[in-house]
């Protein structure tokens, strides 16, 4: 059985889209794959309760607990990797995981780590993508699924979806339209990766 571990930091809507697709399309039976766990760096994030309601095991590794470590980011990433590795993951899926990962963490999961980013990369890496797209006068926006590399939001692109920027759009309206398309694209890309594995 191929194991997926999903990392979240917030509400977990992309995670839910992946889990529901796995259930509806019988990934365990068809692909010999399952969502083994959902992990978060925020113990109180709504997505963990959402995952539990879907019957998926959850765990939290609170990044704030490592604030006093000599290298807080590396200490957190090491603890997170230990938690992930307990599920022997074939694929680690970032779904709104709002932490910049250390190079060592990325190398540990090389070829197994994917992310979704709410812009048409390479445009607008980082934060506030929808606001930046509107401010730049873009006529289209969208989202990108990519492999994670040591350079933030610059890994090889696996798929993209394009969404028009409409007259009068604000950040919230554009974000909602892009997110609806993310929920379709991300499970599709993951299923394709599992089929090829």
- State yes or no: pLDDT of 13 exceeds 90: yes
pLDDT at position 4 is 98
pLDDT at position 197 is 76
C-alpha 177/C-alpha 191 separation (Å) is 23
φ, ψ of residue 178 in degrees (nearest 5): -65, -45
* Per annotation, catalytic residue among 63, 108, 117, 154: 117
Q: Is 82 exposed, middle or buried (0-12, 13-18, 19+ CB in 10 A)?
A: exposed
Q: Count other Cβ atoms within 10 Å, centred on residue 12.
A: 25
Q: What is the mean pLDDT of residues 81-97?
A: 98
**Tokens 């980011």 — which residue?**
73
Residue 162 in tokens: 């394009």
Q: Going along the chain, which residue ranges are E strands?
A: 2-8, 33-40, 58-60, 91-94, 113-117, 140-147, 157-164
Q: What is the mean pLDDT of residues 85-90?
A: 98
46-53 and 13-24 are packed helices; what angle lies between their axes, rounded to 10 degrees?
A: 10
- What proportion of the chain, given as a percentage, has pLDDT over 90? 98
Are 178 and 145 in contact, with CB atoms under 8 Å apart? no
pLDDT, one tens digit per residue, over 115-169 is 999 999 999 999 999 999 999 999 999 999 999 999 989 999 999 999 999 999 9
Is 183 part of the annotated catalytic residue set? no
Q: What is the mean pLDDT of residues 104-123?
A: 97
Tell me the whole-structure pTM to 2 decimals. 0.97
Give the rounded distance of the alpha carbon of 117 from its chain centre. 8
Buried/exposed code over 39-65 (b: 16+ C-beta within 10 A; e: otherwise): bbbbeebebbebbeebebebbbbebee
pLDDT, one tens digit per residue, over 36-76 is 999 999 999 999 999 999 999 999 999 999 999 999 999 99
């Amino acid at each position: 059985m191929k194991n997926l571990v999903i990392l979240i930091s917030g509400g977990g809507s992309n995670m839910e889209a992946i889990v529901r697709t796995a259930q509806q399309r019988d990934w365990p039976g068809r692909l010999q794959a399952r969502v083994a766990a959902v992990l978060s760096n925020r113990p109180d994030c709504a997505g963990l309760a959402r995952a539990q309601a879907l019957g998926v095991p959850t765990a939290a590794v609170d990044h704030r607990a490592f604030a006093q470590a000599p290298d807080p980011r590396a200490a957190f990433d090491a603890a997170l990797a230990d938690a992930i590795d307990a599920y022997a993951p074939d694929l680690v899926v970032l779904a709104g995981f709002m932490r910049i990962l250390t190079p060592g963490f990325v190398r540990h999961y090389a070829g197994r780590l994917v992310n979704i980013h709410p812009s048409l990369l390479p445009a607008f890496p980082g934060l506030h993508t929808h606001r930046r797209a509107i401010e730049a006068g873009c006529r289209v926006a969208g989202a990108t699924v990519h492999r994670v590399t040591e350079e933030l939001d610059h890994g090889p692109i696996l798929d993209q979806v394009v969404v028009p920027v409409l007259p009068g759009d604000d950040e919230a309206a554009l974000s909602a339209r892009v997110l609806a398309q993310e929920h379709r694209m991300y499970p599709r890309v993951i299923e394709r990766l599992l089929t090829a594995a």
